[in-house]
Amino acid sequence: MKVAFIVDGEPKAKQRPRVVQTDHGSVAYTPRQTKNYEDWVKCCYINQVGRIKLQAPIRATITGVFPIPKSTPKYKRAKMIAGELLHTKKIDCDNLAKIILDSLNKIAYDDDSGISKLVVDKIYGEMPRVEITLEEIR
């Protein structure tokens, strides 16, 4: 089985958990921006794919499409759109994959440990988004 969906908006990175000191010790929590984006990824999956749950092993392909900076000259812009110039700035590929795959736990699959193959690309485009394809490997 193979499913594909799109998360509209600028790609986000998984942020590190924050730790606060309380009277009873330390408490770790997920930053609000990360939690909100994870909820958005879940919503996009359910709205576009439904409640389909894949079985491990799974191949995941994630493409982060980043906005082209407004100050980019036309000749560079054309190369970015053609895929000749790739996105090499923040966010890191691993943090992009982490937020997407963690978001889909218990929704698209039982656990992201079932992802056996992973391909992550960062490119430029007119409409920022993340394109995700999940495929059972048999």
Dist. CA 40–CA 103, nearest whole Å: 9
In the three-class reduction of DSSP (H, G, I as helix; E, B as strand; rest coil), residue 138 is classed as: coil
Which of 96, 132, 106 has the alpha carbon at shortest distance from 51?
106
Provide the pLDDT for residue 29. Answer: 81
Residues of the chain with pLDDT under 50: none
Write down the pTM of the prediction.
0.90
Provide the pLDDT for residue 18. Answer: 84
Provide the pLDDT for residue 5. Answer: 98
Provide the pLDDT for residue 20. Answer: 82
Provide the pLDDT for residue 41. Answer: 98
